[in-house]
Amino acid sequence: MIIKQADFVKSAVYERDYPEEINKVEFAFVGRSNVGKSSLINSLTGRRKLAKTSKTPGRTQLINYFKVNNEVYFVDLPGYGFAKVPKEMKQEWGQTMERYLASPRHKLVFVLLDIRRVPSGEDIDMLHWLDHFDIPFKIIFTKMDKVSNNEKFKCLKAIKTKIDFTNDDVLFHSSLSNSGKDEVLEFIGEYLEE
């Protein structure tokens, strides 16, 4: 897929706030806060400020909808794993996210994992949840510029002690160098053709 246009559409909390159109495929992005979700969305769309980077906790509970090429939606889901926020707020985020994931929209979920970190309990819960509810998903490892090739394989080995995948089945991306961008866009294009 070649992205020619990307625009913010709306923020949503409840299902009634989602766009009325349900015939467009939605590519949703999830991951712990700071994993590089906004940077990835900006890199893919070629728009430096589309999804705001470096947000403060508390402003991130919303689902943000972006329309891409008038053809698909990109959906920025609330990040999880902020340590410093009150419990009630965490619950609210969880509910917003779960509501979206359980909604009958035509979606594929990109699960973002930082290549340098062993997946957290929340990452693992998310993957189990997607598996359990049969929601198609694809893992994208972020911040690939931060590791050498040698380190990459060490990191993958450590990550595999927690989650199960093959190297051919995941995507790798750096927002700094834009490496892996073409592969993600290619994957999106192929998914749409299926």
Which listed residue (9, 53, 95, 118) binds ligand GDP by CB under 6 A? 53
Q: Are 32 and 79 in contact (CB under 8 A)?
A: yes
Q: How many residues bind ligand GDP (CB under 6 A)?
A: 18
Q: Mark 55-73 as b/e (b = at least 16 C-beta within 10 Å).
A: eebeebbbbbbbbbeeebb
Taking the least distance from each CB to ligand GDP, the nearer of 71 and 178 is: 178
Q: Name the H helices within the chain.
A: 37-45, 87-102, 121-132, 149-159, 181-193
Residues 6+ apart with CB under 8 A from 1: 69, 185, 186, 188, 189, 192
Residue least distant from ligand GDP (Cβ) = 36
Give the Cα separation of 127 and 121 in Å (integer): 10
How far is residue 106's CA from residue 26's CA, in Å, rounded to a whole number?
A: 6
Provide the minimum distance between the beta carbon of 148 and ligand GDP in the complex, in angstroms, as a whole number: 13
The residue behind tokens 């989650």 is 163
Q: Which of 146, 152, 160, 162 binds ligand GDP (CB under 6 A)?
A: 146
For ligand GDP, the closer of residues 56 and 70 by Cβ is 56
CB of 45 vs ligand GDP, minimal distance in Å: 13
Q: Is 56 in the site for ligand GDP (CB under 6 A)?
A: no
- Give the SS3 label for residue 66: strand
* Touching ligand GDP, residues 29-48 (CB under 6 A): 31, 33-39
Give the residue carrying structure tokens 């008038």: 70
Nearest to ligand GDP of 67, 143 (CB atom): 143
Stretch 114-143: interaction string toward ligand GDP, x if CB under 6 A: ----------------------------xx
Between 26 and 38, whose beta carbon lies closer to ligand GDP?
A: 38
By the 10 Å C-beta count (0-12 exposed, 13-18 middle, 19+ buried), 77 is classed as: buried
| Binding residues vs ligand GDP (CB under 6 A) | 31, 33-39, 53-54, 79, 142-143, 145-146, 174-176
